[in-house]
Structure 1
Amino acid sequence: MYTTQMDAAKRGIVTREMEIVAQKENMDIKELQQLMAQGKVIIPANKKHTALDPEGIGRGMRTKINVNIGISKDCCNFDIELEKAKKAIELKADAIMDLSSYGKTGEFRRKLISISTAMVGTVPIYDAVGFYDKEISDITAEEFLDVIERHAADGVDFMTIHAGINRETVRRFKKNGRLTNIVSRGGSLMFAWMELTGNENPFYEYYDRILEIFAEYDVTMSLGDALRPGSINDSTDAAQIEELIVLGELTKRAWERNVQVMVEGPGHMAINEIAANMVLEKRLCHEAPFYVLGPIVTDVAPGYDHITSAIGGAIAAASGADFLCYVTPAEHLRLPDIDDMKEGIIASRIAAHAADIAKGIKGARDWDYKMSEARKNLDWDKMFELAVDGEKAKRYRESSKPENEDTCTMCGNMCAVRNTNKILKGERIKIL
């Protein structure tokens, strides 16, 4: 009997989840097992998440995307968040994180896990304040650990644990200073707790206890980047790199307990720094899968950060990142609505697919070949079927009808594709 997917891989046991992922990724099962045993590929799959359609994250895998949902004190309608989750699954998101930060979230979390075929992630520190109805400084280390265990028992597949921000990394952050300080919500809460209590980060101090919980339920450790840069001015600074070094050490400790790991990364970052940061993470964190927010490549586009993020995400994934956290047009402005969520998902899926082409992922270019073939044949229905967002493509087409069905209103009778096809067939064309 095995304890976790990583334990099974080390023992040479083929799990149901491995079989599904190997088939999806067109990968030999032995190769998959070897990569999992080395920590280079993970399959987040809590033993209690029975609705899960498992996915692999890491080397040789298709780049996956995550969608964030969840209530806040100002927007606390769980029904709307559940609709978002259903829409995210429909739009082929690979993972959904419940980032609820207000009230009693357990019932919603369990409902989400019961219906979600996508991986489900959480950030337990967000839930602690609402669960105990206490100020952050009044929560004890033991209470933080209890919340983690509750999430694991509910069936959460991966959890963001901000264990890399400890007394030493805080000292480095304070010594060097930053323009935008700490922008990670979980990181800022843990920083506040440490400063207000004078204690060490309990996620760092009691990391082995957390690993015991994760191993029992087979929860994947998502090592949170509490000190990720919140502006391009702060990227690749001393605090970010020192935390990354700590995350690499924590990665090895998790692997010793057969706990699967992915490492979270920046944040805001200029384009010319992205590739180097991906190499640095893989080096310092021993090729554990890398999960990035964006990166957002410029700070001046509120309302369009799904675009700034997609630019950075495509470069990051092409350079080695394995998992993209979507960003919506509402980033930095408000809680996203369902339309914002859709735009964020589509932008992230485009970025992920563009990166998969660059990485040479098996079958990635086939999709584009089929679309190009449909365009050459002026097969509009096939184009809509293949499109990332076929609904939008069809709506645009129908909103502006051409004189001839084999053209569009951009070029009309000057359509290059139609006219070239006709000439190659020996047919005459009429432009006027």
Structure 2
Amino acid sequence: MTSSSYLTVKALTKYIKRKFDADPHLREVYVKGELSNVKIHTSGHIYFTLKDDTARITAAMFRMNASKLKFRPEEGMQVFIRGEVSVYEASGVYQLYAHSMEPDGVGGLFVAFNQLKERLNKEGLFNPNFKQPIPKFPKTVGVLTATTGAAIRDICTTITRRYPLAEIVIYPTIVQGENAAPNIVQNIQLANKQKLCDVLIVGRGGGSIEDLWAFNEEIVARAIFESRIPIISAVGHETDTTIADFVADLRAPTPTAAAELAVPNQHELVQRILQNRSQLHQMVSSKLAYERSRLTKLQKAYPLATPERLYRPFTERLIQMDIQLGRASQLFLMKKSAELQKLDTAIKLHSPKNDIQFYSKQLEQTTNSLTRSIMTVLNKKKDSYLSAIRTLEALNPLAIMSRGYSVSYKNNKVIKSISQIEKGEEISIHYHDGEAQATITKIMDKGE
């Protein structure tokens, strides 16, 4: 056989793939098995192996189909898959391309619910420490639900009946379908931005798990958790439970119950006020009767019947202390008078006139001596100054130059030798009364 009779690997693979694709039994297959080697790519594609006790097949689920899954495929999960079988030409391996996937034994929505519930619980979104208290007397209640249906009617009727002082702000919200979750998040964020409400009721009437699924979406759960306004979740009937119920600050079994939890009952408040007023009246009356009885007993007491006996000992003590104070004052004055007489006698013996004459004479002598010393020092300093002046005048170069001498400079430097100059150079000659510029025309050494 010639080389042209041999197939290329690519051609053979294409032929095999065409056989697979042409087989009607492989275009739509229903397979069940266990997931293994599950890898969810950042692109959204899911790659895995489907296996049973004796065989396995590689499989892939592309992003368009994977985005429709309500649960997250995990290792070891038993699943039902609808898809097609074809050949992956790059590796020459046949594999299963999944179009849909359902968990074996339970619905996909139920699995997704439990997976999200477990993950958010680990993150702390259900932690009671993060729950905000519901205000007891809200001024404004916000309601996020559909404007049609029984839920909005039941909530508004219940709030108006129980607590007509509260205002109601309605945020029309889509609560079912693909656009429901983003719309719920948008209205929760809008309510927080407007800051009109003291509490929010988020919910809808009953329905299937598919109908209520918007309240099981992760974005809704996080919006409820991040809300600074307390949220009461009221989704479905009493038996229905959603992720929103776990994250909310308070869960109500029905929309009507949510309205009852959001506001107090005006009749109960009036009854409580009347009861408190009655109790307060009884307490005040009892207190007044008790104090009146005490006052009567005190008025009849023996000390109050003869009050002068209460302060008589103090009066007597005051009189005694007044007498003692008078005696002490007289003794003090007598003592100070004797001391004053002693001081007067001492002053007379030591007349200040003699002391003043003595110290005046001493001051005069000291002043004269100080004056003579200062004059002596000044004369010495004057002689030293004059001697220094004469010395400076003898050393002054200007004085020498006045006798006919001069100083020559070249480039602002004194010329001390003919070796510093050359013929034709310009020099500066300084006299005692001025300066002259000169040009060297001839240089003669002493030896010439």
Which TM-score band (shorter chain)?
under 0.3
- Name which one, 1 or 2, has greater alpha-carbon Rg: 2
Q: Which has the higher contact order (CA 8 A, sep 6+)?
A: 1
Per residue, is there more strand in 1 or in 2?
Answer: 2
What's the TM-score, normalizing by structure 2?
A: 0.25
